[in-house]
Amino acid sequence: MADINLLPQDDATNGWNNILPTRIPNLPLTDAVSADWVIVGAGFAGLAAARRLAENRPEDHIILLEAQELSGAASGRNAGFAIDLPHGRQLQDELSVMPRHTRLARSAMDYLQHQVDTHGIECQWSPRGQYHGAVSAHAFKTDIEPFASILDQLGEPYRLLDRQQLAAEIGTSYYHGALYAPGAILMNPAALVRGLGDSLPENVTVYENSPVIQADYGGTITLTTNTGSVQARQLILGTGIYTEDFGFYKRSLIPIALSASLSRSLTIDEQKALGGQEDWGLTPVGMPGVTMRYTQDHRILIRQKVEYGPGCRRSDAYRKRLRVVHQDRFNARFPMLPEVTMEHTWTGFVCAAQNQGHGFGKVADNIHSAVCQNGIGVTKGTISGLLAADLACGRDNPLIADLQSLGTPNQLPPQPLLGLGVRANLAWRHWMGRAEK
């Protein structure tokens, strides 16, 4: 029996969500019910697992339990990049490993593309690609040029842009230069998560605002919420950073807090002053750097701040301070938009492993997991949920071996060493990349 004490409680300030029309959530669980399968967590992982199970087993009844509303947690509050190329620390992997990341990510993107097309999900889905921007000449040399060399070896297309060329495409001349790669897809992640959750097949029943507070893994699995319970033969966990209380990956998952702000829509005059393309997305080379989006509804996203996030809570005062920093970063990059202010500021909690492993696979009899996407969950969450469903159903899929080969999260040192270590590591990376602010 596992008591689940750390429950998701995300703030209500997610801009992607708040600019969408009001949605009526599915009812919470209020009875004792049974099903063939139960999935916990309706992020990218849980949603993909539910859909794939329904495809694999059309006769089975599947229940999806979500603690909050759809799009409440990290999957609905990220920067909205579906990234196909090796990213961040994956670039330190052996060259032979990198095509696996790409294969997994592109399969996820195809799967998502199919849902967006089939169900007409309106989420500003945009196959626009991605800029990797360096503020300093130094970072261009130490990060962008080696990245280009890796892409050469992988046979992946890209373009290098100098300051003027980049400014012509995205409006700001703040960056020394960038690498543009065409494969990434941009979207409003909250709209995508809502659309995926609201278009699940009929044999899936979704209960929102239904946090699981107790799990019993006897012969039959029993999950209890405050107002009901589910009994099922099989369980898939898509619970992200909240997984340890379910009894799995103990002391292996690192909670990371990431924050973002979204501006108001630019006026027509402001759009002209900015110039550049209809929409775009840029990711930074260093940790203190800023991820930016210009959206199809003419808003600018600033994603900045990476922190250790145990407890998965942040205060209004924290977000207020953060907005000032985000506005400052915005002003430095967009002096041609002096009147534009940040309207929404939020934080989300993601799950990372020290060794970048994935919490994917069979974790006990009749229990599978698809957790720990190491900060790139649009693609990795989707593919691990899909593959967890295939693995649990015994469906052969060569991508399972690809994902398994990336390893599982390693054991971490106990507290307080862990907290000290993670904070020191992040502080060091912020210091090393300070020129990219």
Which residues contribute to the site for ligand FAD (CB under 6 A)? 4, 7-8, 40-46, 65-68, 72-75, 77-81, 83, 211-212, 238-240, 242, 258-260, 303, 348, 350, 371, 373, 375-379, 381
Q: Shortest CA distance to 281 belongs to which of 105, 127, 435, 73?
A: 127
Instruction: Give residue 1's identity as a one-letter amino acid code.
Output: M
- Could you give the CA distance from residue 296 to residue 275 in angstroms, rounded to a whole number? 13
What's the CA dihedral at 419, 424, 426, 427 to 10 degrees?
130
Cα angle: 294, vertex 295, 298; to 5 degrees: 90
CA distance to 102, 151, 179, 265, per residue, from 157 (Å): 13, 7, 10, 32
**Helix, strand, coil share of the chain (percent; to 5):** 35, 25, 40
- Could you give the CA distance from residue 95 to residue 104 in angstroms, rounded to a whole number? 15
CB of 267 to ligand FAD, least distance (A): 26
CB of 221 to ligand FAD, least distance (A): 14
Nearer to ligand FAD, 107 or 270 (CB): 107
Nearer to ligand FAD, 4 or 148 (CB): 4
Residue in the block written with tokens 């970048």: 356
CB of 313 to ligand FAD, least distance (A): 13
Q: Fill in the DSSP letter of residue 418.
A: H
Nearer to ligand FAD, 116 or 270 (CB): 116
- Could you give the CA distance from residue 360 to residue 373 in angstroms, rounded to a whole number? 9
Q: Fill in the DSSP letter of residue 78.
A: S
Nearer to ligand FAD, 28 or 99 (CB): 28
Q: Which helix (H) or strand (E) holds 258?
A: strand 254-263
Instruction: Give residue 284's identity as a one-letter amino acid code.
Output: P
CB of 392 to ligand FAD, least distance (A): 16
CB of 66 to ligand FAD, least distance (A): 5
Q: Is 286 helix (H, G, I), strand (E, B) or coil?
A: coil
- Could you give the CA distance from residue 392 to residue 398 in angstroms, rounded to a whole number? 14
Q: Is 397 helix (H, G, I), strand (E, B) or coil?
A: coil
Nearer to ligand FAD, 54 or 74 (CB): 74
CB of 186 to ligand FAD, least distance (A): 9
Nearer to ligand FAD, 54 or 371 (CB): 371
Nearer to ligand FAD, 205 or 379 (CB): 379
Nearer to ligand FAD, 180 or 242 (CB): 242
**Rounded to the nearest 10 degrees, what angle do helices 44-56 and 98-119 cross at?**
70
Nearer to ligand FAD, 153 or 226 (CB): 226
Q: Is the peptide bond before 288 cis (omega within 30 degrees of 0)?
A: no
Q: First vs last Cα of the chain: how many Å apart?
A: 47
CB of 155 to ligand FAD, least distance (A): 23
How far is C-alpha 315 from the geometric centre of its chain's CA atoms?
21
CB of 408 to ligand FAD, least distance (A): 15
Nearer to ligand FAD, 270 or 353 (CB): 353
CB of 11 to ligand FAD, least distance (A): 11
CB of 336 to ligand FAD, least distance (A): 25
